[in-house]
């Protein structure tokens, strides 16, 4: 059984693959203060919760945008399962042709998402990932990663609003009944949800213009499902895109 782990700034997503079938997905909070011992206990408890014996984990692949947590979780998996995880980074075969100014700068999460998209969808393809940051990766018709967009994520924007203003409250992230809010909370919801959807639509219009053709558009990440239904473009939601990409990367290396 393969354990795939995607480490983001807010959440760590775990998945187990029994051959090619995804048998488990779970999320825990990213915590830079946790030790490798604590992460080992957490991972073991999650596997036990889903009735998976940690001793059945034969290998592991990790993508991480938080180096300290990536190191701790890598050590945790080694202690728990007796395997050395494959971590996505320089020297790892991904099959992805990266055509940006400095390919080494491309985040492991963007690599995993692009690989997952290429393996499952037709190109050209645009991958939207909404987490702490909202990112858009663009893959051309030849399957090359040619660049993208990075913007502040919805929760990060909400945090900036509430922490840097005197009268704006913290709110739950749900859509308002209309774009024109009649109270402070609905006005904030309009800006966060509908504003983000409008930003995505606008960026997609410009990306399509530059590509000169209509791409497959795929979205992943915790908040994507709640945002893309307010977009005008046809967008496929794929919750496990990064985990599938990690499995493909693992297969290329093992």
Active-site residues: which are they? 109
Question: How many residues does the structure list for the chain?
Answer: 254
Give the Cα separation of 33 and 47 in Å (integer): 22
Cis peptide before 60 (omega within 30 of 0): no
Residue 245's Cα: distance from chain center in Å? 11
- Dihedral sign for Cα atoms in the order 47, 52, 58, 61: negative
Radius of gyration of the chain (CA): 19
Give the Cα separation of 4 and 147 in Å (integer): 25
Q: Give the containing element (helix H, strand E) for 147.
A: strand 144-152
Strands 216-220 and 125-130: parallel
Instruction: For residue 180, give the DSSP letter.
Output: S
Give the Cα separation of 143 and 127 in Å (integer): 12
| Other CB atoms within 10 Å distance of the CB of residue 196 | 24
How far is it between the farthest Cα atoms of the chain? Answer: 58
């Amino acid at each position: 059984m393969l354990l795939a782990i995607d480490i983001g700034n807010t959440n760590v997503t775990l998945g187990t693959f029994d051959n090619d079938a995804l048998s488990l997905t779970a999320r825990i909070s990213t915590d830079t203060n946790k030790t490798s011992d604590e992460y080992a206990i957490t991972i073991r408890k999650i596997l036990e919760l889903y009735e998976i014996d940690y001793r059945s984990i034969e290998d592991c692949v990790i993508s991480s945008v938080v180096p300290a947590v990536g190191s701790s979780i890598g050590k945790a998996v080694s202690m728990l399962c007796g395997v050395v995880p494959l971590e996505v980074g320089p020297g790892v075969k991904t099959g992805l042709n990266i055509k940006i100014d400095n390919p080494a700068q491309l985040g492991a999460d963007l690599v995993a998402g692009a690989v997952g998209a290429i393996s499952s969808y037709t190109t050209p393809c645009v991958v939207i990932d909404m987490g702490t940051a909202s990112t858009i990766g663009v893959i051309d018709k030849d399957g090359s990663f040619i660049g993208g967009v990075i913007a502040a994520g919805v929760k990060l924007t909400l945090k900036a609003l509430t922490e840097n203003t005197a009268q704006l409250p913290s709110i739950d992230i749900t859509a308002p009944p209309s774009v024109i809010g009649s109270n402070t909370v609905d006005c904030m919801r309009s800006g966060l949800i509908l504003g983000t959807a409008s930003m995505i639509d606008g960026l997609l219009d410009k990306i399509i213009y530059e590509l000169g053709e209509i791409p497959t558009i795929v979205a992943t990440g915790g908040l994507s499902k709640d945002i893309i239904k307010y977009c005008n473009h046809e967008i496929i939601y794929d919750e496990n895109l990064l985990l599938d990409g990690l499995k493909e990367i693992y297969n290329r290396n093992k």
